Amino acid sequence: GQNIDQPTEMTATEGAIVQINCTYQTSGFNGLFWYQQHAGEAPTFLSYNVLDGLEEKGRFSSFLSRSKGYSYLLLKELQMKDSASYLCAVRDKDYQLIWGAGTKLIIKP
């Protein structure tokens, strides 16, 4: 079967750095996505990785290792507005997205 694993919940302090991990086992691989979802709202796109390595976009970075079936999302200089769920999704051999259950990130002042 296909599986995406990520921690259920994490807590971090405003101004700090947090790393959210995602491991996957899927039928084929055609890219990995990270989305942000605030409570009661729709998911919004954060990043896309298809090759190994780090993609940086402002305060957010995403890393991919295809050989290890592993990705992480790194959030720097945390702000209260970063409190949200972060969803990892892998595009499989049929080009459909397989979603993890999401990691709820709680930011404390």
Partner 1 sequence: IAGITQAPTSQILAAGRRMTLRCTQDMRHNAMYWYRQDLGLGLRLIHYSNTAGTTGKGEVPDGYSVSRANTDDFPLTLASAVPSQTSVYFCASSDGSSNNEQFFGPGTRLTVL
Q: Which residues of the chain form contacts with partner 1 (CB under 8 A)?
A: 4, 31, 33, 41-45, 48, 50, 87, 89, 91, 95-102
Judged on CB neighbours under 10 Å (0-12, 13-18, 19+), 95 is exposed
**Beta carbon nearer to partner 1, 78 or 98:** 98
Beta carbon of residue 29, minimum distance to partner 1 (angstroms, whole number): 13
**Beta carbon nearer to partner 1, 69 or 100:** 100
* The three-state (H, E, C) secondary structure of 19-72, written as one string: EEEEEEECCCCCCEEEEEECCCCCCEEEEEECCCEEEEECCEEEEEECCCCEEE
Beta carbon of residue 101, minimum distance to partner 1 (angstroms, whole number): 5
Beta carbon of residue 16, minimum distance to partner 1 (angstroms, whole number): 27
